[in-house]
Structure 1
Amino acid sequence: MSAQEHSISELKKMIKIGPPWLTRFERARVIGVRALQISMGAPVLIDTEQEPQHVREDPVLLAKKELEAGVLPMTIIRYTRRGDVQPIPLKWLVELDKLRLRIH
């Protein structure tokens, strides 16, 4: 087992609540929150020099690019009905999401 596969399996074991990837609702929330931050003047965390003009001007597209790059310092907090709580770094979920999409 390679080092990358080992880290992926370890990440899956560490996520105890919900699927080991971003749900469509979490993705929409992260993109919306980040797009609002960018539109209010927050600095963009990716290099936009190579992006087309329409991408550089659209906060939603910039937020999607940042999410895909895995550079957002956010945490997803998941709850169960029993009251259990698990904060999960967004970077983990993005990494596992990329792996899941590559396999399918």
Structure 2
Amino acid sequence: MIGARSLQIAMGSPIFVDAKGEIDPIEIATMEYEQGTIPITVKRKTVKRIPIKEKEVGRIPIKEKEVEGGGDRM
């Protein structure tokens, strides 16, 4: 997000913080991020998840087996 905003600043976009003589677009974008003034909104698609039951998929639950002897094999 800072990279995209610093590119905008480098291309002449208005700055939303007091830059205090700072000329590096990455530093200015970082200042905007820290102050919460970056004018970028992130939109993400959400996926509607439907739970799948084991019966529908045909899965059989696996039971843990007890190992006889219980020793380590080398």
Q: Provide the residue aligned with 2:6 in structure 1.
A: 35
In terms of fraction of residues, the more strand-rich structure is: 1
In terms of fraction of residues, the more helix-rich structure is: 1
1:40-79 deviations in whole A, cap 9, x for unaligned?
Answer: 0112110122xxx5xx121011101101111123211122
Taking structure 1 as the reference length, the TM-score comes to: 0.41
Q: Provide the residue aligned with 2:66 in structure 1.
A: none
Shift of 1:36: 0.5
Larger Rg: 2
Query: What is the number of equivalent residue pairs in this alignment?
Result: 49
Residues 1:71 and 2:42 aligned together: no
Segments of structure 1 that go 5 or more residues without pairing to the other structure are 1-29, 84-104
Looking at both structures, which has the greater relative contact order when contacts are Cα pairs under 8 Å and sequence separation is at least 6? Answer: 1
In angstroms, what is the RMSD of aligned CA positions? 2.0
Q: Distance in 1 between matches of 2:18 and 2:4?
A: 20
